[in-house]
Amino acid sequence: MRFDPSTLRYTADGLLPAIAQDARSGEVLMLAWMNAEAVARTLESGRVTYWSRSRQAFWVKGETSGHVQTLVEMRLDCDRDALLLLVEQEGPACHTNRRSCFFTAVRGGDEVVLSEPMV
């Protein structure tokens, strides 16, 4: 079946969550949002392109930082309302300069920082 981004199920604001996972290591790097046009642009260009909710604009990951995400494979879930992006990540994915945005764990009721910014 041909894939059509308009057949995905978006929330009321026209977005769905997209998980970026390191295609090699399996590390979950970040979660961001896409609209149908961002999905189409990502597939066409191979450069992962989100929709920035704060800036209300397309966000070609790494366009300013150089920390680009190259799409290896896009997957959709059974409900067609979430995406998993297998990517090659250049440098850190997180704006704090860490490889992954998920660097804080909850352990024994406390927040524990698991990694430091890359140098």
Q: Using an 8 Å Cβ cutoff, are 15 and 35 in contact?
A: yes
CB 19 → a second copy: shortest distance, Å?
A: 6
CB 110 → a second copy: shortest distance, Å?
A: 6
Q: Using an 8 Å Cβ cutoff, are 7 and 1 in contact?
A: no
Name residue 37's amino acid: E
CA atoms within 13 A on the CB side of 93: 22
Q: Which is nearer to a second copy, 106 or 119 (CB)?
A: 106
* Closest alpha carbon to 27 in 118, 119, 102, 106: 102
CB 25 → a second copy: shortest distance, Å?
A: 8
Q: Which is nearer to a second copy, 40 or 68 (CB)?
A: 40
Residues that bind a second copy (CB under 8 A): 1-3, 17, 19, 21, 25-28, 30-31, 43, 73-79, 82, 84, 94-96, 98, 101-107, 109-111, 114
